[in-house]
Structure 1
Amino acid sequence: MIVFLRGVAMSGLLLLASCAATPEPTPAGDGWQTESATAAGFDAPRLDALVAATLNDTTHLHAILIVRHGKLVVERYRDGNDRTVYSPFPHRAHFGPTVRHDTRSVGKSVIGLLVGIAQARGAIGALDTPVLDYYPEYADLATPDRRRITLAHLLTMSNGLQWREGEPGHDDEHYLYWKSPRTRYALDRPIAQAPGEQWNYNSGGTTVLADIVARTTKMPYPQFADEALFAPLGIRDWEWTNDLHGEPMPFAGLRLRPRDMAKLGQLLLNRGQWRGRQVVPADWIDATVQPHIHTRVADFDYSYQWWLGTAEWQGRHVRWISAFGNGGQRIFVVPELDLVVVVTAGAYDDPQAGPRVNALLKAIVGTAH
């Protein structure tokens, strides 16, 4: 312990100074009201100590935001390394309420919401529609096995196609950065098992879903996201990073302000409503917050591009729903506690980043009354 303290003494002082300078949540004209942690039903001293200790350690967290009963309760930031999804070179960033953060695969969860909106508008058909119905130009791929792959299988990452992601030596996600068309690459993988039998993390499926949204709504999916989702939520400062071909990356390229990430979480809590307006159909949200398939990650389940799990609270388990992103990006929603927790971080490609952030949620839940 003495060696550790000596090694981080100077950086620890800098982080403490940075956190001390961070203001309490204040109204910013973006739709959020604020409230004290005590009034929101937290053990405020425990919560404050937890947040301070977390931001003062070495886990590369950049922001922690907590919303309860629809009001912003905690908002803390610190400086850190930012890095776009395909760049190996990080740069130092001064994170704060007005700074966009790389959310990585949180964009997948946004695509899931867009599918629900497009379906409610009559653009996208039933979820049992074969995916290849949307790709007549891929007639050579329309084997009986591939014809069984439906929109539901893409949404739940159970399409049955061979896909290796995040593995050393081969990562199919990397091919999505430069293959064209990306949709053909995603749908041309060998059949590994029958659709619906097994969950397998697959950014290619998200890419196909985004393309189907664009095809059926007759507009690029970032434009549709702006018109149908972001603008109604008052999300005005966002970016969907392009790949090397100048095409936006639906599976990893979304950059948002943490306050706007929290709006997406509150949208789930409100069954698709924001400030009295139904933005996403309530029945789509109801289906999204239910488990559809079990993953091979810890004890988590999966839904329409959202993760599901549990946290212990007062001797029992409460459910959470979350958007996950590489490096520690999270939007956690805990319906029973009327709680949203947003975390951004820069621990990209660190296999321990996710477990650390998931443990942080459990600790935050433990401070709620």
Structure 2
Amino acid sequence: MKKLILILLSVCTITVHGQTNDIVETDGFVNPLHQANAGRIVFMGSNIPLEQLKETDFLTAYELKPVSDLSIRPFLANSITNYLHQLAPDLPADELIKKGNYQFTFYVDGKSVYTENLHYGAGLKKHTTTTFRVPITSSKGEDWWAIYMFNRFMLNGGEKVLTDGTHQLKIEMRPYINLGEIKVGDIIAQGEVQLIMKTPVLTQEEIAVQPIQANSGWEISNAPIDKPKIEEMNKLIALNKLKEITGVVVIKDGKLLLEEYFNKADRNTLHDTRSVGKSFASTMMGFAIQDGYIKNENQTLNKFYDLKQYANYSTKKDSVKLRDLLSMSSAFNGNDSNMESPGNEENMYPTDNWVKFALDLPMDNSKANGKRWDYFTAGVVVLGDVIDKSVHGGLEKYADKKLFSPLGIKNYEWQYTPQKVANTAGGLRMSTLDYARYGQLYQNKGKWKGKQLLSASWVAKTFTKQLPIGGRDNEYYGFLFWNKTFTIKGKNYETFYCTGNGGSKIYVFKDIPLTVVITAKAYGRPYGHPQVDKMMQEYILPAVIK
């Protein structure tokens, strides 16, 4: 009896000791299934609510198709906060989850392929959560960190090793924390599933160059095209190797050479091309200057706003020129590439006045106006507001009168700021062919059907390399247009282009009569922009350039 009591006391002491090691109270084991599978990652073929989930739903094998739905559910014995506390016991709970998170390691057939320290911002209720479901592939366009992570695994070796056949995928989870150097804990959950890989058999019709239908509004080009190149590209799109591409249009010598649609899009689809819409702010600024509503791009912000009425006033803010905002080179403390930047666009969207958000920002002491490029969406919102206040009837009506109606663009949709001004940050929806009309206006140096709409001098200023883009070799920025050069068979082809999250592009080539539009919806995906570069470099340009 004494021996039994001693054993019980020992167990109780260990339990109490374990509790005192925790820094936060968690959800614990939420049901018997959770408790029975603690330390395990299970795979599911659909989103099954936890209260309905049974062990018979756990997958042992799954056919991973180009578009599929595969989810995981880790069953943890503790929350990530408490696991991090074991690695850094001196830090408070809220500080722990700012310095660490889960580490995921992917194995294929017993070999480690990819490890990712999940960004600290991913995940919810980290103090309490002990089990959660996330999709790692989705046919529904879900926006989850786990999908992005699985995409990065595929891009960083997964696609190469997951060849046709059956493979064992294993995922391990550990806690990690960044204390100047990365510290990693023990495995907290792991799981395996057999992935069955089969390359779909495509018909010739699925990969053939799509015939241009009647009534496009364009004269059809008879220029030669390397059809096998385009068919190779179409095959990759059909196999989802080039993902979420919705349209490709090529205008050569002012004529429609190629028009193709994918992933349920068609000629009438209005595409959300995100920051492609920023370039339209540059266009409308050109019209406003041309019509005398705005003197020129060298006017300063204090001509349009009493900046002393905004926070963080300085004379440096007064001296920001319109051209500084057009070239993303103002000295505002705003940088969308830096999540810690006060002016990051993600800090702007929840506010009820985006212009005030921008004009309230402090100036960056390390920057001088017009000298350094930093991507700054809030500055383009200010440009839209300046135009809206300056032109007759406001920006939206002015754009329809000066740009859309003359180009024959009738079906389009603006998004709006909280003040109901047409949003120049992005989100302007149009058809792929109508985006081509816009690109061709610039290809024609501001002319459309022989009439000069936008001044050639403004197009020339826009298509001037205003500043180099930091961190990119031989890439530049104009007035809300980007610049790069493709090299095909040893020859350079320079282009100014619009670009938006998801991979949408409007390319206007400088020395050859070529305009290319690609629409895509790979929003936030790591492959969104690189795959479009691949399409241009390896397929479209070699196919249409002599």
Q: Sort the TM-score into its range (normalised by shorter chain).
A: 0.7 to 0.9
Question: Is residue 342 from structure 1 mapped to residue 342 from structure 2 by the alignment?
Answer: no
Structure 1 counterpart of 2:389: 215
- Bigger mean CA deviation after superposition, 234-243 or 198-207: 234-243
Structure 2 counterpart of 1:75: 259
* Equivalent residue for 2:322, pick from 143, 147, 151: 151
Contact 1:104 1:326 in 2 (8 A): yes
Structure 2 counterpart of 1:233: 407
Q: Deviations over 1:213-253 (max 9, x none)?
A: 11110323222211111111111110012356655422122
Gaps (5+ residues) in structure 1?
Answer: 80-93
Structure 2 counterpart of 1:83: none
Q: Deviations over 1:139-177 (max 9, x none)?
A: 456521112210110100000111131545767212332
Question: Is residue 366 from structure 1 mapped to residue 537 from structure 2 by the alignment?
Answer: no
User: How far, CA to CA, are the matches of 1:112 and 1:134 in structure 2?
Assistant: 17
Corresponding letter in the other structure for 1:224: Y
- Bigger mean CA deviation after superposition, 248-257 or 119-128: 248-257
Q: Deviations over 1:24-65 (max 9, x none)?
A: 113425x31222xxx324333323433443454332211111
* Equivalent residue for 2:488, pick from 313, 322, 325: 313
Q: Give the TM-score normalised by structure 1.
A: 0.86
Q: CA offset at residue 125 of structure 1?
A: 1.4
Structure 2 counterpart of 1:25: 212
Q: CA offset at residue 356 of structure 1?
A: 1.7
Contact 2:396 2:421 in 1 (8 A): no
Alignment of 1:283-294 (within 5 A): 283-294=457-468
Aligned-CA RMSD value = 2.5
Q: CA offset at residue 264 of structure 1?
A: 1.2
Alignment of 1:87-106 (within 5 A): 94-106=264-276
Structure 1 counterpart of 2:498: 323
- Bigger mean CA deviation after superposition, 200-209 or 41-50: 41-50
Question: Is residue 136 from structure 1 mapped to residue 306 from structure 2 by the alignment?
Answer: yes
User: How far, CA to CA, are the matches of 1:50 and 1:194 in structure 2?
Assistant: 44
Corresponding letter in the other structure for 1:33: E
* Equivalent residue for 1:111, pick from 277, 281, 295: 281
* Equivalent residue for 2:360, pick from 158, 166, 188: 188
Alignment of 1:166-177 (within 5 A): 166-168=337-339, 172-177=344-349
Count of paired positions: 349
Contact 1:210 1:250 in 2 (8 A): yes
Q: Deviations over 1:291-336 (max 9, x none)?
A: 1101125232001100000001341212011100001010011132
User: How far, CA to CA, are the matches of 1:247 and 1:22 in structure 2?
Assistant: 41
Partner secondary structure for residue 251 of structure 2:
strand
Q: Deviations over 1:251-304 (max 9, x none)?
A: 122111000111111111100111112121111111111211011252320011
User: How far, CA to CA, are the matches of 1:144 and 1:330 in structure 2?
Assistant: 37
User: How far, CA to CA, are the matches of 1:234 and 1:340 in structure 2?
Assistant: 18
Q: CA offset at residue 197 of structure 1?
A: 1.5
Contact 1:55 1:62 in 2 (8 A): no
Gaps (5+ residues) in structure 2?
Answer: 1-159, 166-195
Q: CA offset at residue 4 of structure 1?
A: 4.1
Question: Is residue 43 from structure 1 mapped to residue 207 from structure 2 by the alignment?
Answer: no
Partner secondary structure for residue 511 of structure 2:
helix
Structure 2 counterpart of 1:282: 456
**Identity between Structure 1 and Structure 2 (%):** 27
Over 3 Å counting, the alpha-carbon distance change for 1:130 and 1:246 in structure 2 is closer
User: How far, CA to CA, are the matches of 1:52 and 1:34 in structure 2?
Assistant: 24
User: How far, CA to CA, are the matches of 2:360 and 2:233 in structure 1?
Assistant: 47
Corresponding letter in the other structure for 2:262: R
User: How far, CA to CA, are the matches of 1:23 and 1:358 in structure 2?
Assistant: 21
Contact 2:329 2:374 in 1 (8 A): yes
Over 3 Å counting, the alpha-carbon distance change for 1:175 and 1:294 in structure 2 is same
User: How far, CA to CA, are the matches of 1:16 and 1:153 in structure 2?
Assistant: 52
* Equivalent residue for 2:374, pick from 154, 179, 200: 200
Contact 1:288 1:304 in 2 (8 A): yes
Over 3 Å counting, the alpha-carbon distance change for 1:3 and 1:181 in structure 2 is closer
- Bigger mean CA deviation after superposition, 350-359 or 272-281: 350-359
Structure 1 counterpart of 2:248: 64
Instruction: Work out which structure has the larger RCO, using CA pairs closer than 8 Å and 6 or more positions apart in sequence.
Output: 1
Q: CA offset at residue 23 of structure 1?
A: 4.5
Corresponding letter in the other structure for 1:153: D
- Bigger mean CA deviation after superposition, 293-302 or 15-24: 15-24
Contact 2:281 2:424 in 1 (8 A): yes
Over 3 Å counting, the alpha-carbon distance change for 1:165 and 1:337 in structure 2 is same
Q: CA offset at residue 9 of structure 1?
A: 4.4
Contact 2:333 2:363 in 1 (8 A): yes
Contact 1:177 1:244 in 2 (8 A): no
